[in-house]
Amino acid sequence: MSDDLKTGVPDFSGWSCPLPLVGYPAIVMGHGGGGKLGNELVEHLFLPAFRNPELENLGDAAVLDLGGGRLAMSTDSFVVQPLFFPGGSIGELAVNGTVNDLAVSGAEPKFLSASFILEEGFPLAQLAAIVEAMAQAAATAGVKIVTGDTKVVERGHGDGCYINTAGVGLLRPGISVSPLHAMPGDAILVSGTIGDHGMAIMSVREGLEFESQIRSDCAALNGMIAEVLAAAGPAVHTMRDPTRGGLASTLNEIALASGVGIEIDEPSLPVRPEVQSACELLGLDPVYVANEGKAVFFVAPEAADIILAILRAHPLGKDAARIGRVTAEHKRMLVARTAMGANRVIPIQIGEQLPRIC
Amino acid sequence: MKYLTEFRNGEIAQRMAREIAAVTTRPWKIMEVCGGQTHSIIKNGIDQMLPTGIEMIHGPGCPVCVTPLELIDKALAIAAQPGVIFCSFGDMLRVPGTEGDLFQVKGAGGDVRVVYSPLDAVDLAVKNPDKEVVFFGVGFETTAPANAMSVHVARRRGLKNFSLLVSHVLVPPAIAAILESPGNKVQGFLLAGHVCSVMGYREYPSLAEKYHIPLVVTGFEPLDLLDGIRRCVIQLEAGRHEVENAYERIVTFYGNQAAQKLLAEVFEVTDRAWRGIGVIPKSGWRLSEAYRAFDAEERFQITGIHTEESPLCRAGDVLRGAIKPAECAAFGKECTPRHPLGATMVSSEGACAAYYNYGRFLSAEELAGAGIGLTGGPNV
């Protein structure tokens, strides 16, 4: 092992950062965990290689000015296991994930592509169920799947079914939301309970099955977001959907991108009791657990109550809550006010969240 | 969340903090033994609620932190072998050995799996008769019963392909070692509630008597911790040194006797090396003669391990309570959770990681510059 690692150490001298990925010369699972390792790949590998102004925005979708109008474009790959879980399947995820990335960029999602990487031996009945779920999710979200691709890999070279979707949408005129636009004074709203999707997946993952009523929150958010933007568009500065890495990773990314401090009131975070209990049991923190049907809004404080009311009136936003504010203090950091009245920093994760020993 | 939310009530916590302030007349240094307690203190900000002068010192009770480097290196070597399924609790995967960690072994093709119970590893051995399944059995008295049960079940089922890489450590000898170390500053202890739920607390009155030190069995929620601290301070102020149980809803004097019976059958007391501290006599468990066939160290005979600790890392001083994490020159500079030099920066229970993650907004420079950690300062 050690010899492989030694010979595998690449030459990092040309890299842009003085602290490159020296600790991990090969890909580890944490590079896909939505935390610091993944960010390092983006910062030190993808960005320097592909550098352009559209990419550098690092939004959930790229904003493209095509002369006649502004377009948003986004892509995402889905490798979830198990493929079917309480509250959904990889099919709904693949559609809603890309729809939501477009929606939180302020765009109206229009068209999607779908690429399938299938493993030899994968049951056609399961593929049909996934495709049916995608068709229904697309209809619900009001988008069309207009192009696609299928590849098959040998048995053992895939995990049944991987899906990539890409999507384009039209940016609404007069709306300018971006992870760069959070500003001191902004109120922070979340559209509902956090951690539902991640714990629903955990509850059925091999080796960890536990009985629970937790269902994934997988849903298309474009309808709810359209209502918010129609009523108070200019007051919305930043929107994100806190998926992999959870609310904490999203808020940390916004704090870094906008160069502001973020304060949240821990007791105000909406968490279902069953999700909280499962997290306690496994030694996990719900702020790091994935969501697939939630949005976070950074809004002008005077518009916060109106937007909260709009969210709560929508079926996907009935548990919406005001959870914190943006501050000029402790720039680039996420700080939580605990129930005890003390402060703690909620850091960016290194890789995957690891269950504790005891 | 019954039995949890009741113990997280902010108003009651503030009232208890005021009670502690009211009975405190001079500075006291109290060590919480268990890493889970350290985690909870920092996460909830309990240290910020305490009156000036009450200083919490973070003890060595983090299994990830005290597992010796040599054993981590053995784990890496075993996990990298073809035909081995290496099972571990999640947070051992990122602990740095001399070269790399278990995540990297996995990335390089090793079959490394996170399990939630040692019995899951036994099931894997049943399902994979052509593989050697090894479970990394580390921890204090808390994790020992489940680890003991795994080899007990493996033997009963006649499994030949299951083994345990064991490094169990025990709390009472560690407390004695800390109290006898030169320059010890600790004046009272919060005993680890989960350890006592297994072992009871009958081992502790002799320690309290010998070292004239109060010992309070303490839980993990904010109100549990504040109650433990309150009782410890009251004893210190009164010049008493007794064993008290502030975690009565879980812990009894005799503990879990069925578990103790199994432990006595499966394990025997041995000298153990503690990472960053050194060998403490009779401070751990290894598999007993009857179960020696399940010892992964015997089965794999890994030799040629040359361990090398970072010369900058002062994890040992942190674990003994001699320094606060921020007093280490490498803290937050060469050593971060992204690039840990020692195990105390890896586990979420490790004192250095807890400080880095939850206390960072005061900045490492401010903490180090002030010569203190977050604790013992004025109320924030």
Q: Which tens digits make up the pLDDT trace of A24-35?
A: 778 887 787 667
Q: For A77-124, how does the pLDDT look when each residue is reduced to its tens digit (9 = 90+)?
A: 999 989 999 999 999 999 999 999 999 999 999 999 999 999 999 999
The domain boundary residue, chosen from A173, A200, A230: A173
Compute the CA torsion angle B142, B146, B151, B157 (nearest 10 deg): 170
Confidence bin at B372 (pLDDT 50/70/90): very low
The pLDDT value recorded for residue A207 is: 63
Residue B45, pLDDT score: 86
Give residue A23's pLDDT band: very low, low, confident or very high (50, 70, 90): low
Whole-number pLDDT of residue A351: 63
Is the predicted pLDDT of residue A6 greater than 50, yes or no?
no
Interface of B with A in 117-136 (CB under 8 A): 120
B53 touches chain A (CB under 8 A): no
* Percentage of the residues of chain B whose pLDDT score is greater than 70: 93
Confidence tier at B212 by pLDDT (50, 70, 90): very high
In a domain, A31, yes or no: yes
Q: Which of A24, A36, A338 sits opposite B44 (nearest CB)?
A: A338
Identify the pLDDT of residue A10: 31
Cβ of residue A23 closer than 8 Å to a chain B Cβ: yes
Residue A351 lies in a domain: no
Cβ of B347 under 8 Å from any chain A Cβ?
A: yes
B311 close to B196: Cβ distance less than 8 angstroms: no
Task: Kindly determine whether residue B93 and residue A347, on different chains, have CB atoms separated by under 8 Å.
Answer: no
Q: How far is CA A251 from CA A70, A258, A340, B346, in A?
A: 26, 10, 22, 23
- Residue A323 — left, alpha, or beta (φ > 0 → left; ψ -120 to 50 → alpha)? alpha
Residue pair A310/A300 in contact by the 8 Å Cβ criterion: no
What pLDDT, on a 0 to 100 scale, did the predictor assign at position B133? Answer: 98
Distance of residue A266 Cα from the nearest chain B Cα, in angstroms = 10
What is the Cα–Cα distance from B200 to B328, expressed in whole angstroms?
A: 36
Query: How far apart are the CA of B299 and the nearest CA of chain A, in angstroms?
Result: 20
Does the pLDDT value for residue B139 go beyond 60? Answer: yes
Residue span of the structural domain in which A128 resides: 61-173
**pLDDT at residue number A357:** 54
Judged by average pLDDT, the poorest of A23-37, A262-276, A320-334 is A23-37
Report how far residue A229's alpha carbon sits from residue A225's, in angstroms, rounded to the nearest whole number: 6
Nearest Cα neighbor of A345 from A355, A331, A357, A328 is A331
* Min distance A173 CA to chain B CA atoms (Å): 39
Q: Across-strand partners of A337?
A: A265, A343
Model confidence at A206, pLDDT cuts 50, 70, 90, reads low
Chain A neighbors of B45, CB-CB under 8 A? 338, 340-344
Tell me if A124 is assigned to some domain. yes
Q: Which amino acid is at B184?
A: N
Q: Which of A29-33, A87-91, B354-358, B360-364 has the lowest mean pLDDT?
A: B360-364
Binary contact (A343, B77; C-beta < 8 A): no
Chain A residues inside the 8 Å CB shell of B77:
1
What's the pLDDT at A352?
A: 62
B89 closest CA partner among B105, B102, B78: B102
Instruction: Output the six-digit token pair for A92.
Output: 């709904």
Instruction: Please check whether residues A9 and A158 belong to one and the same domain.
Output: no
| Contacts within 8 Å (CB) and 24+ apart, A172-178 | A172/A106, A172/A107, A172/A108, A172/A229, A172/A233, A174/A233, A174/A234, A175/A106, A175/A229, A175/A233, A175/A234, A175/A236, A176/A106, A177/A104, A177/A105, A177/A106, A177/A236, A177/A237, A177/A238, A177/A239, A178/A57, A178/A59, A178/A237, A178/A238
Residue type for position A96 = N
Buried/exposed A225-244: b ≥16 CB within 10 Å, e otherwise: bbbbbeebbebbbbbbbbbb
Number of Cβ within 10 Å of residue A285's Cβ equals 17
Instruction: List the single residue in A26, A277, A355 with the smallest CB-CB distance to B114.
Output: A355
> Cβ separation of A28 and B104 shorter than 8 Å?
yes
Has residue B20 got a pLDDT over 70? yes
Q: How many CA atoms lie within 13 A of A288 on its CB side?
A: 20
Residue A336 sits in a domain of what CATH number?
3.90.650.10
Is residue A39 very low, low, confident or very high in pLDDT (cuts 50, 70, 90)? Answer: confident
Name A139's Cβ contacts closer than 8 Å, sequence gap at least 6.
Answer: none
Mean pLDDT of A248-254: 94
Pairwise CA distance, residues B357 & B345, whole Å: 10
Q: Is residue A45 part of a domain?
A: yes
> Are A74 and A55 spatial neighbours (Cβ–Cβ below 8 Å)?
no
Q: In this structure, what token pair is assigned to residue B267?
A: 């394990």
Quick one: residue B276, left, alpha or beta (phi over 0 = left, psi -120 to 50 = alpha)?
Answer: left
Confidence at residue B304, expressed as pLDDT on a 0 to 100 scale = 81
Note whether A133 and A243 are same-domain residues: no
Establish how many alpha carbons lie within 13 A of residue A14's alpha carbon, considering only the half-sphere containing its beta carbon: 5
Instruction: Choose from A48-52, A67-71, B78-82 the range with maximum mean pLDDT.
Output: B78-82
pLDDT band at B359 (very low <50, low <70, confident <90, very high): low
Q: Is residue A69 part of a domain?
A: yes
Is A312 domain-assigned?
yes
Chain A interface includes B103 (CB < 8 A): yes
Q: Is the peptide bond preceding residue A347 cis, with omega within 30 degrees of 0? A: no
Query: Does A151 lie in the same domain as A95?
Result: yes
What is the structure's pLDDT at A15? 33
List chain B domain ranges. Answer: 5-62+179-245, 65-170+255-300, 315-370
Q: Please say if the pLDDT value at position B375 is more than 70.
A: no
Give CA angle at B25 (B20, B26), nearest 5°.
Answer: 105
Lowest mean pLDDT of A128-142, B3-17, B134-148, B224-238, name the range. Answer: B3-17
CA of B3: which chain A residue's CA is closest? A277
Same domain, A211 and A158: no
User: What is the reported pLDDT for A136?
Assistant: 98
Higher pLDDT, A196 or B370: A196
The helix (H) or strand (E) run that includes residue A179 is: none
Q: In the CATH scheme, what architecture does the domain B5-62+179-245 have? A: 3-Layer(aba) Sandwich (3.40)
Q: Which pTM value belongs to this model?
A: 0.82
Residue B44 and residue A340: Cβ atoms within 8 Å? yes
Q: How many domains does chain A have?
A: 3
- Inspect the interface and report whether the beta carbons of B105 and A1 lie closer than 8 Å: yes
Instruction: Tell me, yes or no, whether A353 lies in a domain.
Output: no
Phi, psi of B172 (to 5 degrees): -55, -45
Instruction: Determine the distance from the C-alpha atom of residue B89 to the mean position of all C-alpha atoms in its chain, rounded to a whole number.
Output: 14
Residue A19: pLDDT band by 50, 70, 90 thresholds? very low
Q: Does B8 touch chain A (CB under 8 A)?
A: yes
Average pLDDT over residues A315-327: 98
Angstroms from A204 CA to nearest CA on chain B: 14
B98: which 2 tokens? 């001399």
- The answer to whether B11 faces chain A, any CB pair under 8 Å, is no
- Contact status of B367 with chain A (Cβ, < 8 Å): no
- Rounded Cα–Cα distance for residues B355 and B39 (Å): 9
In this structure, are residues B283 and B289 in contact, taking their beta carbons and an 8 Å threshold? Answer: no
pLDDT band at B349 (very low <50, low <70, confident <90, very high): low
Confidence of residue B228 (pLDDT cuts 50, 70, 90): very high
For residue range B47-91, what is the model confidence (pLDDT) as tens digits?
A: 889 999 999 988 888 887 888 888 999 999 999 999 999 999 887
One domain for residues A294 and A252:
yes
Give me the mean pLDDT over the B142-164 stretch: 96
Same domain for A25 and A91?
A: no
- From residue A274, alpha-carbon distances to A84, A241, A286 in Å are 20, 22, 11
Q: How far is A253 from chain B (nearest CA, A)?
A: 16
B354 or B237, greater pLDDT: B237
Task: For residue B164, report the phi and psi dihedrals to the nearest 5 degrees.
Answer: -120, 125
In chain B, what residues touch A338 (CB-CB under 8 Å)?
10, 43-45
* b/e per residue A245-255 (b: at least 16 CB within 10 A): bbbbbbbbbbb
Chain B residue with minimum CA distance to A338: B44
Residue tagged 């005129």 (tokens): A173
Residue B376 binned pLDDT confidence (cut-offs 50, 70, 90): very low
- Predicted pLDDT at A355: 60
DSSP character string of A272-335: -HHHHHHHHHHT--GGGS--SS--EEEE-GGGHHHHHHHHHHSGGGTT-EEEEEEESSSTT-EE
CA distance A126 to A208: 23
Distance of alpha carbon B28 from alpha carbon B26, whole angstroms: 7
CB pairs A-B closer than 8 Å? 144
Cβ within 8 Å of A, B 143-172: 143
The pLDDT of residue B346 is 74
Same domain, A161 and A202: no
Listed range (A106-115, A161-170, B110-119, B218-227) with the worst mean pLDDT:
B110-119
Q: Which residue do the tokens 């909620």 mark?
A: A346
* Smallest CA–CA distance from B357 into chain A, residue: A347
For chain B, what's the residue count? 380
| pLDDT of amino acid A208 | 67
Length of chain A: 358
- Mean pLDDT, chain A, integer: 88
- For residue A280, is pLDDT > 90? no
B5-62+179-245 matches B65-170+255-300 in fold: yes
Structure tokens at A285: 């923190």
Residues A230 and A196 in one domain: yes
Compute the distance between CA of residue A57 and CA of residue B219 in angstroms, rounded to an integer.
47
* Contact at CB, A28 and B103, closer than 8 angstroms: yes
Domain identity same for A65 and A46: no
Q: Which CATH superfamily is B65-170+255-300 part of?
A: HypD, alpha/beta domain 2 (3.40.50.11740)
Q: What is the mean pLDDT of chain B?
A: 88
How far apart, in whole angstroms, are the C-alpha atoms of residue B19 and residue B347?
A: 33
Q: Token pair for residue A180?
A: 């760069």
Q: Which of A10-14, A51-55, B90-94 has the lowest mean pLDDT?
A: A10-14
Output A9 or B102, whichever has higher pLDDT.
Answer: B102
Write out chain B residues lying below 8 Å of A208, CB-based: 116
Examine the domain organization and report whether A340 and A191 are in the same domain.
yes
pLDDT band at A4 (very low <50, low <70, confident <90, very high): very low
